Amino acid sequence: MDFNTRAEHFMDAYGNAILRLAYSYVHNMEDAEDVLQDTLIRVLQADPEFESEAHEKAYLLKTAANLAKNKIEYNKRRETDELNEELVSQEKEDLSFVWEAVKKLPDTSREVIHLFYEEGYQTSQIAEILGRNESTVRSDLKRGRERLKEILKEEYDFE
């Protein structure tokens, strides 16, 4: 498969997943798109061999997570959040509350929450993607859930 065909395959199969993971870190579309683009470039340049589609996806998400964290580390996270604005404009306040609550979580809990609930990964798989210890992932998931409940209840009176 040539690079262009491979790039199209990655984009079509995993583009949304990569974009959403990136957005969960950077909170704006411009940086999320940059991360998606850079992820494709990096993976195509590295040209690894994958054992399965699951392995392929996990590798791409791992690369995207690392690139997104770099963006936050070296560029202050931007203040604009188009997703929240959009949800409010659609009068989907309940979704806006949930998104804003997730944003308040520490990065380590937020990335676990995203991969668990949005991508449906198990904690062992999340540990592999993020390069972390599984027990740490489990505690971050637990802490994330508890914190979310607190935030949603206290700040948004949300059950």
Partner 1 sequence: MNKYSEAMENIKVTDEMRSRILRNVALSLESGKDEAESETETEAEIEKEAEIKTEKEAEKETVRKTGETITANESADITEFRSIKKRRSGAWITPVALTAAAALILVIVRPWSGSSLMSANKGSSSFDAAMSEDASADYHYDSETAVAETTEDDSWDEDYPVYEDAMLEAEAEAAEEETKDNSEGIEGMVFDATEFPSVREMSDAIGFEVNDISEVPFEATEVIYRVISGKLAEIVYIGDGDKLTIRKSAGEEDNSGDYNEYTLDEPIEIEGNKIDILGFEEGYYLVTWYDGEYFHSIRSDSPQTADKMKEIISDLIKGE
Q: Which residues bind partner 1 (CB under 8 A)?
A: 3-4, 7-8, 11, 15-16, 19-20, 23-24, 28-30, 32-34, 36-38, 40-42, 44-46, 62-63, 65-67, 69-70, 73-76, 78-80, 82-83, 85-87, 89-90, 92, 94-96, 98-99, 102, 104-109, 113-114, 117-118, 143, 147
Q: Do 99 and 84 touch, CB atoms closer than 8 A?
A: yes
In order of 39, 90, 120, the CA distances from 11 in angstroms are: 10, 27, 20
Residue 53 or 154: which CB sits closer to partner 1? 154
- Nearest approach in angstroms of CB 40 to partner 1 is 5
Residue 90 or 122: which CB sits closer to partner 1? 90
Residue 96: exposure state from Cβ atoms within 10 A (0-12, 13-18, ≥19):
buried
d(C-alpha 149, C-alpha 81), whole Å: 22
Total Cβ atoms within 10 A of residue 59: 18
Residue 57 or 147: which CB sits closer to partner 1? 147
